Amino acid sequence: MVYLDARTGRHLQRYNRGRRLVVGCIPYRYKNGNDGGPDNELEVLVISSKKSEAMMFPKGGWELDESVEEAASRESLEEAGVLGDVESQLGTWVFKSNSRELYHEGLMFPLLVTQQLDLWPEKSARLREWMTVAKAREICKQLWMNEALDILVNRLKFKQDKDDVQPFEL
Q: Which domains are delineated in the chain? A: 15-164 (3.90.79.10)
Q: For residue 149, with 0-12 CB atoms within 10 Å meaning exposed, 13-18 middle and 19 or more buried, which class applies?
A: buried
Which whole number is the average pLDDT over 69-77?
A: 96
pTM above 0.95, yes or no: no
Is 81 within 8 Å of 117 (Cβ atoms)?
yes
Percent of the chain beyond pLDDT 70?
A: 82
For 169, which DSSP code? P
Question: What's the whole-number average pLDDT of the chain?
Answer: 87
Residue 93's pLDDT band, with cuts at 50, 70 and 90, is very high
Region 122-133: mean pLDDT is 95
pLDDT the model gives residue 169: 44
Across 6-15, 50-59, 89-98, least confident range: 6-15
Higher pLDDT, 57 or 6: 57
For residue 56, the tally of other CB atoms under 10 A from its CB is: 19
- Per-residue pLDDT at 170: 41
Higher confidence at residue 158 or residue 129? 129
pLDDT of residue 75: 96
Paired sense of beta strands 19-30 and 42-48, if any? antiparallel
